[in-house]
């Protein structure tokens, strides 16, 4: 199964692992299954933490480029944003556990979590600008997490950056050696959440998420419209995706 949802015996922690090799691409199918799995968490009243991670060596390479063509992107992008809204509605703290590469839509998924915990060798990037597009959700979420200037730099450069860099920016909560990451996450969960009231945590995350939820409700639809109705009708957005799929050098028209 591409999605595995496991719950510990005390039903205080849920782990959601998604798999779609290579690179755990966030296809429309994976997005739908992740959304359905999140809906199941509402039935766990003792839940104190939900973790999300990609199977294998990498968290996610991001969105499926073949689904970024006209006729597909109009379906997949709103579904992606609905998934992020559902993640922000999870009635417990959430944490993305990141190994390897966390790119594009994968980084956006991690940014919608309350925490990001990363392996020392993890890298994060928003390479969409190389394809003549931009990351809509990151345009809304990353300024809230890292500040406008850092978000602008990451989005306009498209350059990957280390877990240590994003920890210094306050985006990543904790960095641990790759080999000990699972144990570090377990210890952090036990220390930070297991002794707390699930009811108190449920209300606390609703409160602290309010600025993010407000931005997703008010700003993200505007950005989505800009992306679908303006950018995706440009010559360069089409050229960037086609060049990638055809494995050739891109030829920008600047229009």
Residue 69, token pair as written in the block: 């063509």
Are 137 and 155 in contact by the 8 Å Cβ rule? The answer is no
Listed residue (88, 87, 41) closest to 213, CA to CA: 88
Q: What is the pLDDT of residue 58?
A: 97
Q: What is the pLDDT of residue 79?
A: 97
Q: What is the pLDDT of residue 71?
A: 87
- Residue pLDDT tens, the chain, 255 long: 589 999 999 899 999 999 998 899 999 999 999 999 999 898 899 999 999 999 999 999 999 999 988 889 999 999 999 999 999 999 999 999 999 999 999 999 999 999 999 999 999 999 999 999 999 999 999 999 999 999 999 999 999 999 999 999 999 999 999 999 999 999 999 999 999 999 999 999 999 999 999 999 999 999 999 999 999 999 999 999 999 999 999 999 999
- Please spell the DSSP secondary structure of 107-162, one letter per residue: HHHHHTSSEEEEETT-EEE-GGGGGT---HHHHHHHHHHH-HHHHHHHHHH---EE
Reported as a single tens digit per residue, the pLDDT across 169-191 is 999 999 999 999 999 999 999 99
Task: Decide: pTM greater than 0.85.
Answer: yes
The CA distance from 207 to 146, in Å, is 20
Q: What is the pLDDT of residue 43?
A: 85
Q: C-alpha angle 127/141/15, rounded to 5°?
A: 90
Q: What is the pLDDT of residue 21?
A: 87
Q: What is the pLDDT of residue 1?
A: 59
């Amino acid at each position: 199964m591409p999605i595995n949802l496991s719950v510990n015996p005390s039903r205080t922690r849920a782990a959601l692992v998604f798999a779609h090799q290579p690179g755990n691409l966030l296809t429309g199918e994976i997005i739908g299954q992740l959304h359905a799995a999140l809906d199941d968490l509402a039935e766990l009243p003792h839940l104190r933490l939900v973790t999300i991670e990609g199977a294998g060596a990498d968290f996610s390479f991001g969105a499926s480029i073949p689904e970024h063509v006209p006729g597909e992107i109009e379906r997949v992008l709103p579904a992606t944003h609905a998934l992020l809204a559902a993640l922000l509605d999870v009635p417990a703290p959430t944490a993305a556990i990141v190994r390897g590469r966390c790119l594009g839509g994968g980084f956006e998924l991690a940014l919608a979590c309350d925490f990001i915990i990363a392996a020392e060798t993890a890298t994060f990037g928003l390479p969409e600008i190389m394809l003549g597009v931009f990351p809509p959700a990151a345009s809304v979420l990353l300024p809230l997490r890292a500040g406008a200037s850092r978000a602008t730099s990451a989005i306009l450069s498209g350059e990957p950056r280390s877990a240590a860099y994003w920890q210094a920016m306050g985006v990543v909560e904790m960095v641990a050696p790759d080999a000990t990451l699972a144990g570090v996450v377990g210890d952090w969960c036990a220390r930070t959440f297991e002794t707390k009231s699930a009811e108190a945590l449920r209300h606390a995350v609703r409160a602290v998420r309010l600025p993010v939820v407000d931005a997703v409700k008010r700003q993200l639809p505007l950005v989505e419209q800009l992306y679908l109705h303006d950018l995706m009708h440009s010559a360069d957005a089409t050229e960037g995706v086609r060049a990638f799929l055809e494995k050739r050098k891109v030829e920008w028209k600047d229009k």
